[in-house]
Chains A and B, each alone.
Chain A
Amino acid sequence: MQDVFIGFTSITWQMIVMYLIGGLLIWLAIKKEYEPMLLLPIGFGAILVNLPLSVVWEHEGTAGFLKVLYDGGIANELFPILIFIGIGAMIDFGPLFKNPLMIFFGAAAQLGIFATMIIATLLGFDLKTAASIGIIGAADGPTAIYVASKFAKNYLGPISVAAYSYMSLVPLIQPPVIRALTTKEERTIHMAYHESNSPKWFKILFPILVTMTSGFVAPISAPLVGSLMFGNLIRECGVLERLSKTAQNELTYLVTLLLGITIGASMRADQFLNLKTLLIMGMGLLAFVFDTAGGVLFAKFINLFLPKERKINPMIGACGISAFPMSARVVQKMAQEEEKGNIILMQAISANVSGQLGSIIAGGLILAFVPLLAP
């Protein structure tokens, strides 16, 4: 008789907490529209995997469909790679080519990754896990998943949830940090818009050169950078429009759907409900704060050496994160609030595109450096 009601008798309080967390993620996705394409499947996956007996994961020695997806798409990093092809097909490097100097903000705003990694080690995490936590600061979900699936599979759930949650919270996280680090006078700086024109052939050559350069600097980053740039090459070559559209839409949507529910399935109560999950969520937020601060402070530093008429609005620095185009929009909105008619959107977009490049390069370098010190 007990077997008949096993579904009820095996419920634990940890499972109930996970149903609430799953429900919260679904609520955030639907009601607040925070990254709904990811948070909704993650929330549902979290509920599904924590049902009694966890049949969707593994039952009586047989792998369930979510474990099959996990082994086939996350454990071997296939899903993030496929998503990178789609993202690459969506990225237009045009604004960056028009304002190439903005590329350095894409480097400065990666500070959050490294600062958070150091803090994580101080809190007792080993180097590989600390690097995976730090990569939340890449503000780039697939990169976070890719690095975490290589270095810290046990923390894939909280790291992914933190990465996508905070990406959607950029409009709330960045403005207070920017205001704290800048004066009103700095926020109202107008910027001259210098538009340089790169020839069409360079748009085609650029993804190939980026792939080769990254492959030489950090060979282990080749799948990460190569898939992104492959997608971009499809977009820019001009003869594969249907493939480009397929990569941007069908491929990305299908893999996102599978990725989300599979990540949700990695949130099993026994692994998820612990103090470390809370620490990871907290440090993820810190990473975004440090990213923003890194970009803003770098812009202020550069301003020390620039003549008055060429000074940079330091808010642009905050756009060096990978959350595109949200960060650029946030900064343009702030510029308008500070002074009507102050248009810095083009520079902000350029820095934001650089952030997409910077985050993936930072991810590749972490993949290259960490195993050298912690084999």
Chain B
Amino acid sequence: MDNLIEMLRNSSTTMQAVAVSIGGLIGVFATLGFFWFLIWFAGKIGKGGKESKA
């Protein structure tokens, strides 16, 4: 990981932006994915659900 960061430090600003973007998007999806799991799990513990169609 340190090598990757060092390599990116020496690369162009745009490459750095691309790296931050990839890491950022993965990070947002992973973090919100974890929150989804928490909500889903709490829902399972809770009373269950009902369905309707608009």
Contacts and interface: CB of A to CB of B under 8 A. Distances in A.
Interface string B26-54: 01111111111011101101111111111
Nearest to B37: A100
A198 B46 CA distance: 5
A254 interface: no
Given A100-B36, A107-B28, A191 B9 contact: no
B48 A196 contact: yes
Nearest to B25: A114
Contacts of B49: 194-197
B47 A197 contact: yes
B3 interface: no
A365 B28 contact: yes
Nearest to A122: B14
Contacts of A110: 24-25, 28
Contacts of B36: 100-101, 103-104
A100 B39 contact: yes
A309 B45 CA distance: 27
Contacts of A206: 38-39, 42
A193 interface: yes
The CB with the most chain B CB atoms within 10 A, among A106, A111, A120, A196, is that of A196
Main secondary structure of the interface of B (DSSP, over half): helix
A202 B6 CA distance: 42
Nearest to B52: A193
A335 B19 CA distance: 37
A38 interface: no
Interface in A65-124: 96-97, 100-101, 103-104, 106-108, 110-111, 113-115, 117-118, 120-122
A362 B42 CA distance: 24
A165 interface: no
A107 B43 contact: no
Contacts of A174: none
Contacts of A101: 36
Contact of B8 (A104, A111, A191, A373): A373
B7 to A, nearest CB: 10
B36 to A, nearest CB: 5
Nearest to B12: A121
Interface residues of B, number: 40
A143 interface: no
Interface string A198-210: 1100100110011
B32 A366 contact: no
B42 A199 contact: yes
B53 A127 contact: no
A370 B48 contact: no
Contacts of A205: 42
A153 interface: no
A192 B53 contact: yes
Interface of B: 5, 8-9, 12-14, 16-21, 23-25, 27-36, 38-40, 42-43, 45-54
Interface of A: 96-97, 100-101, 103-104, 106-108, 110-111, 113-115, 117-118, 120-122, 125-127, 130-131, 190-199, 202, 205-206, 209-210, 213-214, 217-218, 341-344, 354, 357-358, 361-362, 365-366, 369-370, 372-374
12 contacts: A103-B33, A103-B36, A107-B29, A130-B17, A192-B54, A195-B51, A206-B38, A217-B30, A343-B54, A365-B23, A366-B24, A369-B19
Given A121-B14, A197-B43, 14 more contacts: A100-B36, A103-B33, A104-B32, A110-B28, A114-B20, A117-B20, A121-B12, A127-B16, A127-B20, A130-B17, A195-B51, A196-B43, A198-B39, A373-B20
What are the 5 A-B residue pairs with the smallest beta carbon separation, nearest first?
A114-B21, A343-B54, A202-B42, A196-B49, A196-B43
